[in-house]
Amino acid sequence: MEWQCIVDAPLRAAENMERDLAIAEAVAARRMPPTLRLYAWWPPAVSIGRNQDVAEACDPVACVAAGWDVVRRPTGGRAVLHAADEVTYSVALPLEQAPPGVLAAYAWLARALVAAYRRLGLPAELAPGRHLAARSGACFDAPAAHEVVVGGRKLAGSAQVRRAGYLLQHGSLPVTFDPQLHASLLGLAPDAAGMLARQGAGLRNFIDPAPSRAEIVAAVAAGFEEALGVAFANPGPGVLRHTEVGGV
């Protein structure tokens, strides 16, 4: 299965979401092959799910005061903090090439993330095949079915949308996970930080010093090759390049 891999420099939140959609539409129109995109955010941002209310999903005043953008994702799910040091992935596939059903696609793509984290030295695994009750509006407050965990703590947050012709899934691979900052920017109850500290994690919680961005990017690309049988069209396995998509 031949894909391409795009590695982007940090962009503003709205630009990142526009670029994900532009790539997905290009994939659906067969102007691009299935695509794994790896990117970053500057300034850092809070993304909220397409069905969330902004005022309920985060504290916009606190976000502005902290210098964080707020953006609505085209995908569902709950609010996610995208710190400057995280690696974000997105996958755009023609719909007929995706596993049938949202959960089946989550489980399939999660295999690649598990393989990536194991390459970084973590005993990652998939959460049980059931949905756990959400405790708040934060994505990282509990692992859902087929999400990636280490020691029961959620290490990646993903969201998906299916539209005419394509599947788009993207997700956060945090390096630093700050429960207090989550509680502050999302306007959560005072006891939420402790719960988030027990349920969520970043790479730095398990590996110190944390891997570099280049090491994480290489591990994710290799994880897709290993777990999904992907062959990137870039010159050489795991060799990544920047690609322009419709000027986005």
* Residues annotated as catalytic (active site), given as ranges: 139
Q: Give the residue from 40, 89, 75 showing the smallest Cα distance to 220.
A: 89
Of how many residues is the chain composed?
A: 248
CB neighbourhood size of 115 (10 A): 19
How many whole angstroms separate alpha carbon 63 and alpha carbon 40?
Answer: 18
Q: Please, what sign has the CA dihedral across residues 206, 127, 117, 73?
A: negative
How many whole angstroms separate alpha carbon 170 and alpha carbon 225?
Answer: 17
- Name the burial class of residue 159, with classes exposed (0-12), middle (13-18) and buried (19+) by CB atoms within 10 angstroms of its CB: buried
CA angle 166–215–151, rounded 5-degree value: 80
Q: Give the residue from 174, 235, 225, 226 showing the smallest Cα distance to 34.
A: 225
